[in-house]
A and B are shown apart, each in its own frame.
Chain A
Amino acid sequence: AQKVTQAQTEISVVEKEDVTLDCVYETRDTTYYLFWYKQPPSGELVFLIRRNSFDEQNEISGRYSWNFQKSTSSFNFTITASQVVDSAVYFCALSAYIKAAGNKLTFGGGTRVLVKP
């Protein structure tokens, strides 16, 4: 069975502070993808990043950075110098191919980020 845990339900910061979102996953598959999605108040899920299980290289994209550590089954996400527009719910998700059911995306519970001006 697959499981994604986002221990932080809500984080509140003041603008320009850094925010790190934790994500821990469980899977028995050796090939899988990890994702981060952002869901602003409008409701639409916005794809942020995808990492496959063979690529542990961490990445920085603008104010976003990701830290994938297979040894601890973690895929953490950091927003640097947060802005009010970053206020949203962030979901970590795992996709592994299950032959009988196709590609299922398992979501974590989400972390609500509130950036105050």
Chain B
Amino acid sequence: GAVVSQHPSWVICKSGTSVKIECRSLDFQATTMFWYRQFPKQSLMLMATSNEGSKATYEQGVEKDKFLINHASLTLSTLTVTSAHPEDSSFYICSAQKTSGSPDTQYFGPGTRLTVL
């Protein structure tokens, strides 16, 4: 159990367009979902934390108007990169956690590679 999917697995878009990435927990309900960004040969950087039905909590330095996060259900969270630019090109990874309120295991999706031309 604890499978997380992401769609699409890769996307290429033109500068100025918006891209939506979906993150789904397939066999469990995810009270909390997280979005990370990873640059080549670097560690994961947390972008935001989202709880179902609540507004996302963004990390310092992450533009909430540029990276829109919606956690509409216990199995789905979406990240929309608005007006994407080449510097937004990166590997975006989501994770899902079964509980909130105490440390718990995060299960990760396979990631989405975004390339902005």
Residues in A lying within 8 Å of B, measured CB to CB: 31-33, 35, 37, 42-47, 50, 52, 91, 95-97, 101-105, 107-110, 112
Complex Cα gap A109–B41 (Å): 9
Residues in B lying within 8 Å of A, measured CB to CB: 2, 32, 34, 41-44, 46, 49, 51, 57, 91, 93, 95, 97, 100-111, 113
**Which residue of A is nearest B51, CB measured?**
A102
**Which residue of B is nearest A45, CB measured?**
B108
Contacts of B106 in A (CB 8 A): 47, 95, 105
> Could you tell me if B43 and A44 are in contact, using CB atoms closer than 8 angstroms?
no
Main SS of the interface on chain A? strand
Looking at A35, A45, A50, the one whose CB has the most chain B CB atoms below 10 A away is A45
Complex Cα gap A110–B111 (Å): 17
> Could you tell me if B103 and A97 are in contact, using CB atoms closer than 8 angstroms?
yes
With A102-B57, A104-B46, A110-B43 already in contact, the answer to whether A47 and B107 are too (CB < 8 A) is yes
